[in-house]
Structure 1
Amino acid sequence: MSQEIKAGDKAPDFELFRADGSTFSLYEQLKQTNVVLYFYPKDNTPGCTKQACEFRDQYEVFKEQNAEVVGISSDSDESHQDFEHTYQLPFVLLSDKGNQVRKLYGVPKKFGIIPGRVTYVIDQSGTVQYVFNSLTKPLEHIKVALDTLKKLNSTVRT
């Protein structure tokens, strides 16, 4: 497993396929916006559904803060498409088959088996501004990400 990525670190670049077959590149996205990158255990589970729906409900606020939300799990593209459609998710879900990106970021597993829930706020320079790791507080991820973006944007504007 790679070393855990912390605030102040350079975010590792990666490319994964989107459900529609196109490629998502972190550094290409960072040319346009900040990125809120969140790793979650599994589509259609109670905590992950709450988290995704809260990101959905706050999505316009993230856009106002010049940020794109990107969710990653090891679920299949078909599972992501179903999850996106069922809950009308407006942001990108990426399938990390084999957990290469999860390992690249050093996202820990709970009890050695349950994929962790970790959110990274990455600014346009590729620097990780904040990391929040909590499997049991899915809604807190959205709050801390927005707070971090608001602070980041207030320092940029002044």
Structure 2
Amino acid sequence: MKKKLIPGFILAIIFTVASLNNAKAQAQQKELIVGDAMPAFSLTDQNGKAFNSADYVGKNFLVIYFYPKDESMVCTKEACQFRDSFNDFTKAGAKVIGINGGTVASHKSFADHYKLPFTLLSDPDNKVYHKFGVKDKMFMTGRETFVIDLHGKVVFAYTAMMQGKKHADDALAFIKAHNK
């Protein structure tokens, strides 16, 4: 019986230490808030092309949404809501960008499967996640949406892990209200 308890006990200690280290790292991570400048970044999109955020500042509002995983239930609902509202975002002068740690190939498959007309960026080491201060939730990368204005400043931020559809709805409502 002790043989079974010792490995379980060791696993519990390892898990606890890893959780504390993750919590400590996240506590040190600066969370972006309204008024902060968007951190510059470069990533690869679902078509294998380089995307440099600096190329878009001043041209469009940027709606940057971070999501945990391609093809998961809430993430798919969120992506499809951005897709269904895509023309409204475009008319309002906004460019929609989804980011997660998935591969370029995964993003391509996801975009093709759901006919997503916007940019999906691969952040394999979660460097951009960390630059934006997106916190992990429930052992997954977080779900947050930011609206960046023409000056490169965060003007809207929204966090809700289980309400993917609301990210697109609230970001669009904000842009429409402040784009008059």
Q: TM-score range by the shorter chain?
A: over 0.9
Q: Secondary structure of the equivalent of 2:125?
A: helix
CA distance in 1, matches of 2:65, 2:130: 14
Equivalent residue runs for 1:59-138 within 5 Å:
59-111=86-138, 113-138=139-164
Structure number with bigger Rg: 2
Report the identity percentage: 37
Say which structure, 1 or 2, has more relative contact order (CA 8 Å, 6+ apart).
1
CA distance in 2, matches of 1:31, 1:132: 22
Counterpart of 1:93 in structure 2: which amino acid?
A: L
Q: Is contact 2:58-2:152 (8 Å) kept?
A: no
Query: What's the offset of the Cα at 1:136?
Result: 1.0
* 1:41 partnered with 2:53: no
Counterpart in the other structure of 1:58: 85
Which of 29, 36, 39 is the matching residue for 2:56? 29
Query: What's the offset of the Cα at 1:20?
Result: 2.4
The total of aligned residue pairs comes to 153
Counterpart in the other structure of 1:151: 177
Q: Secondary structure of the equivalent of 1:16?
A: strand
Structure 1, unpaired ranges of 5+: none
Q: Is contact 1:53-1:87 (8 Å) kept?
A: yes
Q: Is contact 1:108-1:115 (8 Å) kept?
A: yes
Counterpart of 1:65 in structure 2: which amino acid?
A: A
Q: Higher helix proportion, which one?
A: 2
Q: What's the TM-score once normalised by structure 2's chain length?
A: 0.82
Structure 2, unpaired ranges of 5+: 1-25
Counterpart in the other structure of 1:15: 42
CA distance in 2, matches of 1:49, 1:151: 26
CA distance in 2, matches of 1:121, 1:92: 15
Query: What's the offset of the Cα at 1:25?
Result: 1.3
CA distance in 2, matches of 1:21, 1:136: 29
- The one-character-per-residue Cα deviations of 1:54-81 (angstroms, maximum 9, x if unpaired) are 1000000000110000000101111000
Q: What's the TM-score once normalised by structure 1's chain length?
A: 0.93
CA distance in 1, matches of 2:145, 2:36: 14
Q: Secondary structure of the equivalent of 2:177?
A: helix
Counterpart of 2:178 in structure 1: which amino acid?
A: L
Q: Secondary structure of the equivalent of 2:117?
A: coil
CA distance in 1, matches of 2:148, 2:178: 10
Q: Higher strand proportion, which one?
A: 1
CA distance in 1, matches of 2:110, 2:48: 17
